[in-house]
Amino acid sequence: MSRHFASQGHQVALLDVNSDAGQKEAEKLAVEYPAAAVRFKKCDVASWDELAAVFKEVFSEHGGRLDIVMANAGIAEGGGVTVVDLDEEEPSPPRLKTLDINLIGVIYCEGFCSIRWQK
């Protein structure tokens, strides 16, 4: 999606928790599509506070508007497929990172799509 919109000359903001990969992709798209404005922002979509700060920043940098948000962050944890370890004697807290990113992150993004940030 970012490649498509960059190829059309749009302003594109890439958000990712991986600074190195995200910055490299933004630089690659900017070189390939010089008419586009491509930026990278480090952000953990499972963090409401980080996402709020980045959405506000991007909204401001993009002239007070966000036309399309593509919430597609996702991870897959290796190992067991349950959120708990059934072999433990004493239960430990459930492993929720996959849910935090794949579900909560999308819900957070959806929430910010309906908010009109003030300049």
User: Could you tell me the CATH number of the domain that includes residue 109?
Assistant: 3.40.50.720
* Residue 81 confidence (pLDDT): 56
Spatial distance between the Cα atoms of 46 and 37, rounded to a whole number of angstroms: 26
What's this model's pTM, rounded to 2 decimal places? 0.80
Is position 77 within any domain?
yes
Counting the structural domains of the chain, the total is 1
82 pLDDT above the threshold of 50: yes
Instruction: Give the confidence band of 112 by pLDDT, cuts at 50, 70, 90.
Output: confident
Contact 46, 104 (CB under 8 A): yes
* Residue 119 confidence (pLDDT): 46
Those residues whose C-beta lies under 8 Å from the C-beta of residue 50, and which sit 6 or more positions away, are 43, 44
